[in-house]
Amino acid sequence: MITREEVVKLANLSRLKLSEEEIAKMQADMTAILAYVDKLKEAKGVDHGPVMSANRNVLREDRAPHEGGIYTDKLIALAPKHEVNKDGKYVKVKKILGSSQ
Q: Which positions lie near another protein, rule CB under 8 A?
A: 2, 6-7, 10-18, 22, 25-26, 29-30, 32-34, 36-41, 43-48, 51, 53-55, 58, 60, 71, 74-75, 78-81, 91, 93-96, 99-101
7 touches 30 (CB < 8 A): yes
Q: Smallest Cα–Cα separation from 28: which of 65, 3, 63?
A: 3
**Residue (21 or 87) nearer to another protein, CB:** 21
23 touches 5 (CB < 8 A): no
**Residue (85 or 101) nearer to another protein, CB:** 101
Compute the least distance from the CB of residue 83 to another protein, in Å: 13
Q: Smallest Cα–Cα separation from 38: which of 30, 50, 46, 27?
A: 30
